Amino acid sequence: MHIEATKTFLKLYKKLDPEIKNKVKKALIFFQKDTSHPSLGHKKMAGQENIYEIRISKTYRITYTKSGNTAILRKVGTHDILSKP
């Protein structure tokens, strides 16, 4: 899967601690190779038409939308982002 990032995603990513940034990079590598990788907890968000989430750690998530074979990264952060994906 091809990956692109929104300005919002990049802005939020820059604010993350280096340890979390490394976990984000690792998760995106797994995601790019296999969207069904078990460590990602990849799923469609309930109540959202075309928004999905990827687990980075117990408390951090990435949200994204799909456009063909492209994942457009929307947000990255703690569970709080899931209330406004």
Across the chain, the runs of DSSP E, i.e. the strands, are 2-5, 43-44, 51-55, 60-67, 70-78
φ and ψ of 19, to 5 deg: -60, -45
pLDDT score of 83 more than 80: no
Write out pLDDT tens, residues 50-72: 999 999 999 999 999 999 999 99
pTM: 0.89
Q: Tell the CATH superfamily of the 2-80 domain.
A: RelE-like (3.30.2310.20)
If one compares 66 and 46, the residue with the highest pLDDT of the two is 66
Half-sphere exposure of 84 (CA within 13 A, CB side): 2
pLDDT at 85: 62
| Element holding 29 (H helix, E strand) | helix 18-33
Q: In which residue are the tokens 């469609």 written?
A: 44
